[in-house]
Amino acid sequence: MFFQDRPSAKIKGTLTSSLFVLVFASTFAIFLTLAYANLDDAPGDRFLTLSTLGRNLAASEYYPREGGFVMENETLDWNVQVYNHMGGSEYVAIRIKLLNATQQGPDDRMHLSSPVDHLYEARHLVPDDATWTMPVSITIKELEISGGNATINAIVINGEEITDLKVSNGKERDFRFVIELWRHDVDSGNFIFTWPSGQESGSAWNQIQIRAR
Amino acid sequence: MLSELAMILVTLTVGSSVTSIDGDALATGDSRELVEATADQALRSIRAAEASGADVSSLTERFNAALGLQQQATDNAFTSCSGHDECIIQANDMLLSIVDESSAIRSDATAGKEAANMLTFTVYVPVSSFIVSVAIVVLYNSWKSRRARKFEALVIHEKESH
């Protein structure tokens, strides 16, 4: 009895009991499962976001004057932001397109980009869970207004002059700058407009309307 | 096993296609395509390093710096290099150095990750399971003996009242 009450004997008795063996086996199995589950650290939702902000990095001050009017030689200052939550670095391209009121824009449902050629492109490698902010400065360099029609012939985007545009519109004189987010597909080696998001696809684009005057 | 195969594949691809730019390429105007091919390989190697758990922030910065040099060459607006050819050569060299460096940091990160996994499965999991099991059994035994003592006290109390 005296021998049985000694602490070492008590510990030995506890560790060799069938109860301890059962509890240890269960705890070990649970911890092992948790450790294995922790090995796969891929994020649940994978997505990229695109947002176009005004000159003050807020959703305001998009135009140099009230009502969205822009005159020749006036500059639009925006900030385009891309946030990456794809679980790894993403090589992305921002493509800027100029469309009139009737030209086809991107298709959200089918995840198709606008068929219009882009005027400007900027590429960047965005780390995972990071935001890239790109300032965009657009100047309407050559605007022709005749007989109620407005034609933008030349613009400057971030110092790069693009001429011979000849994008015309009717009386409304409304134009759209479409900003599309493209990502580099490693398998094909090309930039593509969509990304895989679970069973579905994702795409992102913004559109800002201006009134030429 | 799969990650090792992927690494070998990336190494083989990188080894077979990237090249430094020579005077002929600059003269014939193929330089942009060559830089883009090198950028593609640099991107693949950054992703492989990232997948192995390496910190690729410095590689990402250099990749973007190389893109900036390439853009300067395209726009003919030079701020950090003196001319088209120099910009292209610098961009290509920077991308090649990314390919080299990412393979080194990938190996380190893979070894580190394997060591960490080994430590988790051979030390942390068994030790923490042992500690938790001892705590559970000790608490259970103590609860059981307290209950037994309580029961014995009740029996004695009942005998005394008789």
Q: Which residues contact A157 (CB under 8 A, 6 or more apart)?
A: A96, A119, A120, A136, A137, A138
Q: Are A98 and A31 found together in one domain?
A: no
Which of the two residues, B1 and B55, has the higher pLDDT score? B55
Which of the two residues, A131 and B71, has the higher pLDDT score? A131
Dump pLDDT digits (tens) for A92-115: 999 999 999 889 999 988 999 999
Token representation of residue B59: 């590689």
Per-residue pLDDT, A1 = 43
> Cβ contacts (< 8 Å) between B134 and chain A: which residues?
14-15, 20
The closest of A41, A67, A45, A123 to A90, measured between CA atoms, is: A123
What does the alpha-carbon distance between residue A208 and residue B155 come to, in Å, rounded to a whole number?
86
Q: Are A20 and A109 found together in one domain?
A: no
Split at pLDDT 50, 70, 90, the class of A210 is very high
DSSP string covering B59-96, please? HHHHHHHHHHHHHHHHHT--SSSSSHHHHHHHHHHHHH
Backbone angles phi, psi at B30, to 5 degrees: -85, 0
Answer for the pair A156, A76: CB distance below 8 angstroms, yes or no.
Answer: no
Composition of chain B by helix, strand, coil, percent to 5: 85, 0, 15
A189 found inside a domain: yes
A53 found inside a domain: yes
Taking the CA of residue A95 and the nearest CA in chain B, the distance in Å comes to 15
Q: Are A124 and A169 found together in one domain?
A: yes
- Beta strands A69-70; A205-212: pairing state: parallel
A206 found inside a domain: yes
How many distinct structural domains can be found in chain A? 2
Nearest CA in chain A to B131: A24
Per-residue pLDDT, A46 = 87
Q: Are A11 and A100 found together in one domain?
A: no
Q: Exposure of A197 by Cβ count < 10 A (0-12 exposed, 13-18 middle, 19+ buried)? A: middle
Distance of CA A102 to the CA centre of its chain: 26
A2 found inside a domain: no
Which range, of A27-41, A143-157, B56-70, averages the lowest pLDDT? A27-41
Q: Are A15 and A78 found together in one domain?
A: no
Residue type, position A163, single letter: T
Q: Are A86 and A31 found together in one domain?
A: no
Which of the two residues, B145 and A171, has the higher pLDDT score? B145
Q: Are A111 and A153 found together in one domain?
A: yes
Dump pLDDT digits (tens) for B38-71: 999 999 999 999 988 889 999 999 999 999 998 8
Per-residue pLDDT, A158 = 92
Split at pLDDT 50, 70, 90, the class of B152 is confident
Answer for the pair A122, A79: CB distance below 8 angstroms, yes or no.
Answer: no
Range of the domain at A28: 7-39
Mean pLDDT to the nearest integer, A122-132: 95
Distances A183 to A13, A84, A105, B50, B117 between C-alpha atoms, Å: 63, 11, 18, 18, 33
Q: Are A73 and A144 found together in one domain?
A: yes
Per-residue pLDDT, A148 = 78
Q: What is the CATH number of the domain that holds A179?
A: 2.60.40.10
Question: Is the pLDDT reported for residue B28 higher than 60?
Answer: no
Mean pLDDT to the nearest integer, B7-36: 55
Split at pLDDT 50, 70, 90, the class of B25 is low
Q: Are A165 and A74 found together in one domain?
A: yes
Mean pLDDT to the nearest integer, B26-49: 81
Per-residue pLDDT, B19 = 56
Q: Are A102 and A200 found together in one domain?
A: yes
Dump pLDDT digits (tens) for B65-100: 999 998 888 888 888 888 888 999 999 999 999 999
Q: Which of A24, A89, A189 sits opposite B129 (nearest CB)?
A: A24
Q: Are A56 and A156 found together in one domain?
A: yes
Q: Are A24 and A62 found together in one domain?
A: no
Dump pLDDT digits (tens) for A171-187: 777 899 999 999 999 88
Q: Which of B60, B77, B133 sits opposite A127 (nearest CB)?
A: B60
Q: Which of B41, B130, B137 to mutate to test the interface with A (most CBs of A within 10 A)?
A: B137
